[in-house]
Each structure stands twice: as structure tokens, then as C-alpha cells.
Amino acid sequence: QVQVVESGGGLVQAGGSLRLSCTASGLTFDEHPMGWFRQGPGKEREGVSCISRSGDTTYYADSVKGRFTISRDNAKNTLYLQMNSLKPEDTAMYYCAASSRPICGGIWSFKVAYKYWGQGTQVTVSS
């Protein structure tokens, strides 16, 4: 049984930082590109970032480029999202997902590209 579990969310002031973690079990972690998504209040779930199976290729939404960094440790079956210079508009539930495709590719930000999802971790940024 595949389990994907996020952690590291919390309340932070604008300009602050958080690091999210995601551990996955029940799957061969290094065979899956991994992604982070978020869903703010009253908004659609949107792609934040994707990382290739080896970790050498990354993708970011324009809204987080230069502030967020995705990384992975395949030996620990763990995905990370380092979030710096946080803004109130980053407030959302953040989800980790394992892709069903061999690469992130052009559709990395679409939910349909991902097979396994976590339950999410809440990030709240106060102004």
C-alpha cells in the first residue's frame, strides 16, 4: 500500500521560511518524478514544483520561482520544499504527489500527471 505523508507546515510571518518534507512508502521512490501542489482558500489546486527522478531537473511555477527550492533524497524516500521569502498569498494546503509518468515534462503542473497523493500540510503566512 502506497503512503505519502507531508510534514513541516505551520504559521509563519511574511518574509519568513519553512521547509516541507514528504516521505513516500510502498513504491519505488526513485522511479517517480515528484511534485508539490497547493490549494489556497477558494482556489483550484495548482502545481508549485516538480523534480525529476534523479533530482537533476526541476520545474517551478512562476509565482514561486527564485523563492522555493525543491529537492529529494532518494536514499531516504523523501522529498523537500524549501520556501523562503514567504508571502501571504502562499497561504495554502500543500500536497506532495508521485507522478505516473517517467519525466516531469510539459504537463508537470497538471494533477492528472500524478498517481499518488498525500493528505497535505497547511502553510499559513501572516502579513
Instruction: Check residue 81 and give its pLDDT.
Output: 98
Q: What value does the mean pLDDT of the chain take?
A: 97
| DSSP 3-state of 110 | coil
The per-residue pLDDT for range 16-25, each reduced to its tens digit, is 999 999 999 9
**Ramachandran angles phi, psi of 119, nearest 5°:** -90, -15
The per-residue pLDDT for range 14-58, each reduced to its tens digit, is 999 999 999 999 999 999 999 999 999 999 999 999 999 999 999
Rounded mean pLDDT, 78-96: 98
Asked if 54 and 37 touch (Cβ cutoff 8 Å), the reply is no
Alpha-carbon torsion, ordered 36, 37, 41, 43, to 10 deg: 160
Instruction: Check residue 82 and give its pLDDT.
Output: 98
Which cell is 25 given?
512508502
